[in-house]
Amino acid sequence: MQIISGMEIAQEIKQSLRAANEKENICPVLAVILVGEQEDSLVYVGLKEKAADYIHGRLRLVRLDAEIEKETILQTINELNRDDGIHGIILQLPLPDKLEPWREEILTAIIPEKDVDGFNPYNRGRLFTASRGYASCAASGCLEVIRRVYPAYREKNIVLVGDSFDLIMPLAVLLIKDNAQVRVIPEYKPDLPGEADILVIEKGAPQVLTGEHLTKALLLIDAGFYWHSGTSCGNVDKDSVVNNEGYLLPVPGGLGPILIAKLMENLCIAARGGQAI
């Protein structure tokens, strides 16, 4: 399989954003609300800060205690909504367990114009209309890869494995709106790769998809993430599929960097008042 470098694609996107921002002297500002002290979340925030700096932007980190009340988070979001110096707002997920029941309410508080993660239910609903708002960065990142590998993807059989609100569902809508042939499967089954020309797998188990399951060349996008045997991996057993035909966007180094680049792309659009770059 030809291994697709998510790092290279992400770098191309960020270089283009940086050139446009420097030319127009635009400094997009992203506010990240981080609740609690989760180590993984701090790592992801650091990657976003590095990307924002690279594109001639800035990240403002708003740290809140894990025991904070929902009302205080909503107040913080409302203050950021009113701050004209902030172009985009994201809530770093996951939330502490005690706040998880109010996740949707908290995400809804971020006004659609600054919802650069595309998680506000209003923006998620706009995907079904002609006037699209901000799409989930994971979904638009997958679509970026599909379009690059198979420009004629509308003629391909596309199978999406999972049921997530931030990837599978918005990606399915984007593809259907593009007149593509899409099938969504909640759980992985070994016979699924045999019917797909493009397979996006987010749900299953660590390295559940192996080379023996592949009967033809296809584009395989691994969108899972696990810590397994002391290292990070996805749903695809990379070592067992490398001798098969086709293309693989692996874990690590695949969708993750592209997702952050797409977040920066949404941020730059927000900084231009919703205008394309």
Q: How many independent structural domains does the chain possess? A: 2
pLDDT by residue (tens digit) across 122-169? Answer: 999 998 887 777 999 999 999 999 999 999 999 999 999 999 999 999
**For the segment 262-272, what is each residue's pLDDT rounded down to a tens digit?**
999 999 999 99
Whether residue 154 is contained in a domain is answered as yes
Kindly report, residue by residue over 172-184, the tens digit of the pLDDT.
Answer: 999 999 999 999 9
Say if residue 156 is in the same domain as residue 226. Answer: yes
Pair 168, 231 in one domain: yes
Evaluate whether residue 267 is within a structural domain.
no
Q: Are residues 154 and 228 in the same domain?
A: yes
Residues 152 and 238 in one domain: yes
> Contact, 52 vs 59, CB < 8 A?
yes
Residue 65 belongs to domain with CATH number: 3.40.50.10860
What are the backbone dihedrals phi and psi of residue 19, each rounded to the nearest 5 degrees, phi first? Answer: -60, -45
Burial letters 110-141, b for 16+ CB under 10 A, else e: bebbbbbbbbbeebbebbeeeeebbbbbbbbb
How many other CB atoms sit within 10 Å of the CB of residue 6? 25
Mean pLDDT calculated for residue range 208-227: 92
The three-point CA angle 244-250-256 to 5° equals: 165
Query: What pLDDT digit, counting tens, does each position of 57-107 carry?
Result: 999 999 999 999 999 999 999 999 999 999 999 999 999 999 999 999 999
Which of 93, 111, 129 is the C-terminal boundary of a domain?
A: 111
The answer to whether residue 265 sits within a structural domain is no
Domain with 61, as residue range(s), is 24-111
Within a domain: 266: no
User: Does residue 123 sit within a domain?
Assistant: no
